[in-house]
């Protein structure tokens, strides 16, 4: 197991382990959404800056 | 102390708790005043860049809120109003809040600098540092003037919004800064009057705790006068039109009437503190309406 808290996790009841995994999944999903939004934002900013650069 | 909610240290904090660290309700007013400062500027800003600037203001405010909660976890645990927050409730480790706040602040400044301009970035940086170091760490636990001076931290957003659009600072955004700065004491002292016990239990030297209710009530009345002057000034100075001027006059009149009522009354036994609660709620509406009128005034003009 690659988990830095491996020892705690191994001795944990299945329900708690499931809760941890659910939290990790939810956080990963939110992070993926935020990163995706950031990529779109940077793309949009770049396009706008280029347009403003040409018109200015 | 860890509560039962997070007895297991391996349990990672929920993403909603990170969101709660940013004080989303406080952020609403910050974002709104920043947006209005931007829309009131004489130079239009491209919608994408405008959105980015407001996002940076929101992220910067969120970062400041997270760092505030990181530093004040012990105080928050002692107050009813705040003991449900992620840190005092034991749903998150303090170090996570610190890392989140620092990275969010750095990210907001980086994005503001890359996408907008250095003036807006500088003012955003000053506002974050002011809120964390001057208000939270230095003043809050030491002096009843904490929210008087600390109020400046919440007054920066219209300046940032204006600077994002124009690249500089002018008289109107400075007056908007003064308005929020002078609005903060009556707003917070009205709140402090009806949550006085909470602040006293936590050892926070808010004015009603240190100087008593009578002094606080008088101070609310006194601070309302320069606040109204700052709210009214843009119209006679020719910086806004009649829509803003008349709205400011009407709303300031109501604010003054409520403040006078709070300033001149005494707390009775079993007092429900209704005028204080009403002033606190109205003070929030006051800022929303005034800043909204400023933008409408620009559009009408």
Of A20, A22, A26, nearest to A3 by C-alpha is A20
User: Per-domain residue ranges for chain B?
Assistant: 14-167, 170-301
Around Cβ B93, how many Cβ atoms within 10 Å?
Answer: 16
Query: Residue B113: CB partners within 8 Å, gap ≥ 6?
Result: B121
Cβ A41–B9 below 8 Å, yes or no? no
d(CA B253, CA B175): 19
Give one word for B3, left, alpha or beta, with left for phi > 0 and alpha for psi -120 to 50. beta
pTM, rounded to two decimals: 0.89
B268 touches A at CB < 8 Å: no
> Which tokens belong to B180?
């929020």
d(CA B61, CA B128): 7
Give the pLDDT confidence score for residue B4 in this predicted structure. 41
Of B9, B13, B49, the CB nearest to A48: B49
Average pLDDT over residues A30-36: 97
Average pLDDT over residues B179-192: 95
Going by pLDDT thresholds of 50, 70 and 90, the confidence category of residue B147 is confident
> In the 8-state DSSP scheme, what is residue B278?
H
User: Per-domain residue ranges for chain A?
Assistant: 7-55
Average pLDDT over residues B119-137: 97
Secondary structure class of B9 (helix, strand, coil): coil
Going by pLDDT thresholds of 50, 70 and 90, the confidence category of residue B80 is confident
A25 touches B at CB < 8 Å: no
Q: Which residue has the tokens 């994002």?
A: B164
Contacts of A26 in chain B (CB under 8 A): 14-15
What is the topology classification, in CATH, of domain B14-167? Tetracycline Repressor; domain 2 (1.10.357)
d(CA B52, CA B285): 26
Give the pLDDT confidence score for residue B3 in this predicted structure. 44
Note whether ipTM > 0.85 here.
no
Length of chain B: 301
Please state the separation of Cα B56 from the chain's center in Å: 16
Of B61, B34, B280, nearest to B159 by C-alpha is B34
Cβ B46–A20 below 8 Å, yes or no? no
Secondary structure class of B18 (helix, strand, coil): helix
Q: Does the pLDDT value for residue B187 go beyond 90?
A: yes
pLDDT tens column, B211-251:
999 999 999 999 999 999 999 999 999 999 999 999 999 99
């Amino acid at each position: 197991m690659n988990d830095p808290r491996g020892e705690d996790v191994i001795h944990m009841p299945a329900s708690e382990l499931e809760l941890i995994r659910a939290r990790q999944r939810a956080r990963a999903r939110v992070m993926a959404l935020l990163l995706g939004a950031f990529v779109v934002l940077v793309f949009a900013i770049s396009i706008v800056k280029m347009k403003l650069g040409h018109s200015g | 102390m860890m509560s039962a909610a997070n007895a297991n240290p391996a349990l990672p904090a929920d993403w909603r708790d990170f969101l709660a660290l940013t004080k989303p309700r406080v952020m609403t007013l910050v974002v709104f005043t920043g947006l209005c400062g931007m829309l009131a500027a004489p130079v239009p800003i491209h919608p994408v860049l405008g959105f980015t600037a407001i996002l940076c203001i929101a992220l910067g405010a969120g970062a400041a809120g997270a760092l505030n909660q990181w530093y004040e976890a012990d105080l928050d645990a002692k107050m009813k109003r705040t003991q449900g927050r992620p840190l005092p409730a034991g749903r998150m480790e303090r170090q996570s809040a610190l890392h989140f706040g620092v990275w969010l602040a750095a990210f907001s400044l980086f994005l503001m600098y890359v996408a907008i301009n250095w003036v807006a970035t500088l003012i955003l940086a000053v506002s974050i540092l002011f809120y964390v170091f001057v208000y939270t760490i230095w003043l809050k636990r030491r002096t009843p003037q904490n929210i008087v001076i600390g109020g400046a931290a919440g007054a920066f957003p219209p300046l940032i919004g204006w600077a994002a659009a124009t690249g500089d600072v002018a008289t109107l955004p400075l007056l908007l800064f003064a308005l929020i700065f002078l609005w903060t004491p009556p707003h917070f002292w009205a709140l402090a009057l009806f949550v006085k016990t909470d602040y006293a239990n936590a050892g926070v030297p808010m004015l009603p705790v240190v100087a008593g209710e009578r002094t606080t009530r008088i101070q609310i009345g006194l601070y309302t006068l320069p606040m109204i002057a700052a709210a009214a000034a843009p119209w006679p100075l020719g910086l806004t039109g009649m829509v803003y001027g008349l709205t400011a006059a009407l709303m300031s009149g109501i604010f003054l009437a409520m403040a006078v009522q709070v300033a001149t009354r005494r707390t009775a036994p079993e007092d429900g503190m209704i005028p204080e609660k009403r002033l606190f709620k109205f003070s929030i509406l006051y800022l929303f309406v005034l800043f909204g009128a400023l933008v409408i005034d620009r559009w009408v003009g």
